[in-house]
């Protein structure tokens, strides 16, 4: 849409599509699939396209608390800088929300702010599909994907004079959705470069968050060097998210399961380990003489594996595919199976070996050192039984 030679004509055509779909008539052309999905969701939520209502923002004190707790507060200046420095910045707003769609920060042209104020598009307002219908912020949150909407692709008629371009921002440490960065303005001022500019801003923010994380890992690595120098045997030093800062006596790895003080860990390459608290992270080393007993429980609505090691017991939920794979590995015994074997047993042919390898990699992130590869099997020292209904 941003490359349309005639935005006014595009807006008129989209109004005809919007009005036809919402009235139950056959549209002159189908809306884009992302728009159609969002309209269906919005209609199912009972949002009135003709409603004229102001979205009430949260109290200033509650908003300030959300800002302080947001990981995006660390990079807000870097996030907004490239967008506010652009040549077209005088014609739009830059908005940053949290993962619940609450507007945390809003910057930009005063005259555009006045128009946004009439919609309730202000600091502290919740801008989700359930509240204001199809909009780039709310739809990007649902889809977890970049979304650009123009004119009557919005659901509510009050938003038809607008365009909006939104991009989710994820925490590079654990992949969680932190929020959305959005550029919104009068529909006929949409510039072809806006979408790329918003995407670049999101990536800059994620890269900055990763740099900050890397700096914390570097500090932990330096602090751990004297400790590791005085130890014998394999060990890891990780942060609170399981990212590896330092290691010795085993092949390099980037991340392990998140450590907890009340349970042992199954770490590939180390076996069963005991997490020991450090000032800014954890020391992970093999537990002495610890046996592992695991039960694959297929009797409930959610398959899971229950692991008992030393004095600790924990349960890991499994997808149906991962449960099937573990059951096959258990049946195969110590000899294990090849990727071709798993493909044949799971899919009925040998043509899905790439899929099987990817699924096993994901299984290993969940099950840790309970499984091993080459061939695929239950790891040595693990006694696994299957509880079937």
Q: Kindly state the percentage of the chain with pLDDT values over 90.
A: 65
Q: Which residue has the higher pLDDT, 380 or 41?
A: 41
Report d(CA 317, CA 322) in Å as an integer.
Answer: 10
Q: How many CB atoms lie within 10 A of CB 331?
A: 10
Domain extent listing, the chain: 7-211, 231-286, 292-387
pLDDT one-digit tens code per residue, 69-97: 999 999 999 999 999 998 788 899 999 99
pLDDT one-digit tens code per residue, 198-207: 999 999 999 9
Residue 2 pLDDT: 47
Residue 253 pLDDT: 73
Q: Which of 86-100, 181-195, 369-383 has the weakest average pLDDT?
A: 369-383
pLDDT mean over 118-142? 95
Q: Which of 47-61, 138-152, 318-332 has the weakest average pLDDT?
A: 47-61
**Cis ω for the linkage preceding 375 (within 30 of 0):** yes
Confidence category of residue 293, pLDDT binned at 50, 70, 90: confident
Instruction: List Cβ neighbours of 344 (8 Å cut-off, separation of 6 or more).
Output: 350
Q: Which CATH superfamily is domain 7-211 in?
A: GAF domain (3.30.450.40)
Confidence category of residue 309, pLDDT binned at 50, 70, 90: low
Q: Which residue has the higher pLDDT, 216 or 263?
A: 216
pLDDT mean over 145-150? 96
Residue 312 pLDDT: 61
Q: What average pLDDT does the chain have?
A: 89
Instruction: Tell me which DSSP letter residue 353 carries.
Output: H
Phi, psi of 372 (to 5 degrees): -140, 160
Angle at CA of residue 278, ends 273 and 283, nearest 5°: 25
pLDDT one-digit tens code per residue, 206-262: 999 999 999 999 999 999 998 888 888 889 999 999 899 999 887 767 888 888 886
Token output for 122: 């202000």
Query: Is domain 292-387 annotated with CATH 1.10.10.10?
Result: yes
């Amino acid at each position: 849409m941003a490359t349309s030679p005639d935005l006014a004509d595009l807006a008129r055509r989209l109004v005809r599509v919007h009005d036809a779909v919402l009235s139950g008539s056959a549209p002159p052309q189908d809306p884009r699939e992302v728009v159609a999905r969002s309209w269906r969701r919005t209609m199912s939520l009972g949002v009135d396209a003709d409603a004229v209502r102001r979205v009430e923002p949260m109290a200033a004190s509650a908003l300030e608390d959300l800002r302080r707790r947001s990981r995006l507060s660390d990079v807000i200046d870097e996030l907004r800088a490239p967008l506010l420095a652009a040549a077209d910045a005088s014609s739009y707003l830059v908005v940053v929300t949290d993962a619940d769609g609450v507007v945390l920060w809003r910057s930009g042209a005063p005259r555009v702010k006045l128009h946004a104020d009439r919609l309730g598009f202000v600091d502290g307002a919740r801008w989700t599909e359930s509240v204001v219908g199809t909009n780039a912020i709310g739809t990007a949150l649902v889809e977890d994907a970049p979304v650009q909407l123009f004119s009557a692709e919005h659901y509510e008629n009050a938003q038809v004079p607008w365009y909006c371009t939104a991009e989710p921002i994820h925490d590079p440490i654990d992949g969680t959705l932190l929020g959305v960065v959005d550029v919104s303005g009068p529909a006929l001022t949409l510039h072809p470069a806006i979408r790329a500019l918003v995407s670049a801003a999101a990536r800059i923010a994620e890269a900055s968050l990763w740099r900050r994380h890397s700096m914390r890992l570097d500090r932990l690595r330096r602090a751990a060097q004297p400790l590791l120098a005085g130890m014998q045997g394999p060990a890891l030093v990780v942060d609170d998210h399981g990212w590896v800062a330092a290691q010795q006596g085993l092949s390099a790895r980037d991340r392990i399961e998140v450590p907890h003080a009340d349970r042992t860990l199954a770490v590939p390459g180390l076996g069963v380990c005991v997490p020991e608290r450090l000032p800014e992270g954890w020391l992970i080393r093999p537990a002495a003489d610890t046996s592992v007993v695991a039960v694959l429980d297929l009797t409930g609505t959610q398959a899971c594996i229950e692991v008992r090691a030393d004095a600790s017991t924990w349960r890991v939920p499994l997808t149906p595919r991962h449960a099937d794979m573990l059951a096959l590995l258990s049946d195969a015994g110590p000899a294990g199976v090849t990727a071709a074997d798993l493909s044949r047993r799971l899919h009925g042919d040998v043509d899905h070996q790439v899929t099987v390898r990817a699924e096993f990699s994901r299984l290993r992130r969940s099950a840790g050192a309970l499984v091993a590869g080459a061939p695929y099997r239950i790891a040595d020292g693990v006694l696994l039984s299957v509880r079937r209904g």
